[in-house]
Amino acid sequence: MNGISAGDFPPRFLREDGRRTATANERVLLDLLSRLGPASRADLARLTGLAPHSVTRLVEPLLSRGLIAESAPVVQGRGKPSTALHLVGSAAFSVGLSVMTDALSLVLLDIAGNVLSARTARLRDEPFDRTTRRIGAMIDAAIDAADRDPHTLVGVGVGVTGYFIGDGARLNPPRLLDGWALLPLDTLLAEAFGRKVWIDNDGNVAALGEALLGHGRTVADFAYLYFSAGFGGGVISRGGSLRGHHGNAGEFASILPAGWPQPNLEELRLCLAEAGEAFDDIRSMLERFDAGHPAVDTWLDRVSPSLDLVASAIWATFDPPMIVLGGRLPPSLASRLAERITLTNPVRCGYQRPASRIVTSRVEGDAAAIGAACLPLRAAFFDPDEAVP
């Protein structure tokens, strides 16, 4: 399972035509179409190893339920014209919410991976129930603005800054999110929104978004470094989240010894303040970010040894083909970081170990909100482990 969810779908959000469910074998096809884009029946048979008639048996119910559609035949050389199957974006969508120390970010994501709506709001110092009412209003307004049928909403995915304490969906976030600390967030948010809710931390959901919509379309295994007010990330193994026993795999900040600089955006904000460029919060800094400011070089010099250690530890432990830099990291800054990170890789007998590539994220927009929106869609359509027997 990816993330922690609460309860079954409320009855009013179920569809009798089975649009909200898919068998394990159907999920294999849906996942391929999600990662590869349009594909013919012959392509699907070749990629899955299934016989063509088996693929047809799986495809027909998906067509009748409106989850996939077929393009007009295209002539390609000799033989029968082929048609391409593709996911139908209007069939289903989800809400993704990122709860940060300084802001709320919300997206609507359809089953085909299209962002239908995106909006942000400053996170106020207010009681938890007042914040959830405000979020509920944001969700309703976004659905209305996107002109989507609420009955095709699968659920709400939520990424929250913090780590799990080992008791369900209770997270321990930074001080600025004290109102969210140690609460059964899955139950409380499901009740507040009237919809099924999935909970995970921001690093895990951002990594999952990268798995479904970014580098994960070509690579099944990678580590993801999440830069925000804090520093963390996630691990993707065989296309899914490797969450660990307590759900805290990817807490990469814990690799650093006490006293080492934490490579997060709050430290960057403080560097800018030392140089006379003060911002009230990270959101304000990112809105006016200048990658060429001298204080950025100061930050890079401070945090590079920490990132070298973290990246080397990840590589030595997991040996992933790539390490992805993402989160709230501006692309211009991500590129500079990727060029500077150095893995500990001594030469022996003229050879070095094959190294992980350091790359920047391919997901545009708010990584955690988009990744959070992937949680319900993956659980409903793409993850074989979630299939209803």
Q: What is the CA radius of gyration of the chain?
A: 22
Distances in whole angstroms, Cα of residue 200 to Cα of each of 100, 158, 266, 314: 13, 6, 22, 21
Tokens 């944001």 correspond to 138
Domain boundary among 61, 89, 117: 89
- Which residues constitute the domain of residue 53? 24-89
Type of residue at 228: S
CA distances 107 to 121, 323, 336, 375, Å, are 12, 25, 28, 13
Which two structure tokens, joined as six digits, stand for 1? 């399972």
User: Is 290 inside any structural domain?
Assistant: yes
End-to-end C-alpha distance for the chain, whole angstroms: 15
Q: What is the DSSP string of 194-247?
A: TS-EEEEEHHHHHHHHHHHHSGGGT-S-EEEEEESSSEEEEEEETTEE---TTS
Q: What is the mean pLDDT of residues 296-324?
A: 97
Averaged pLDDT score across all residues of the chain = 91
Do residues 360 and 341 touch, judged by C-beta distance below 8 A? no
Residue 342: inside a domain, yes or no?
Answer: yes
Domain boundary among 41, 71, 89: 89
Residue 249 — pLDDT band, cuts 50, 70, 90?
very high
Domain assignment present for 100: no
pLDDT of residue 388: 57
Of 89, 116, 133, which residue is a domain's last? 89
Residue 277 has pLDDT above 90, yes or no: yes
pLDDT interval class at 131 (50, 70, 90):
very high
- Is 174 part of a structural domain of the chain? no
Confirm whether 304 is domain-assigned: yes
202-244: pLDDT as tens digits: 999 999 999 999 999 999 999 999 999 999 999 999 999 999 9
Angle at 214 between CA 307 and CA 386, to 5 degrees: 105
Question: Is 131 within a domain?
Answer: no
Residue 126 lies in a domain: no
Among 111, 122, 119, 118, which Cα is nearest to 87's? 111
* 108 found inside a domain: no
Question: What pLDDT is attached to residue 15?
Answer: 40
The pLDDT score that the predictor gives to residue 81 is: 64
Quick one: 78 exposed, middle or buried, by C-beta within 10 A (0-12, 13-18, 19+)? exposed
Q: How many domains does the chain have?
A: 2
Q: Report the CATH number at residue 266.
A: 3.30.420.40
Indicate which CATH number applies to the domain containing 52.
1.10.10.10
Mean pLDDT within 256-280: 96
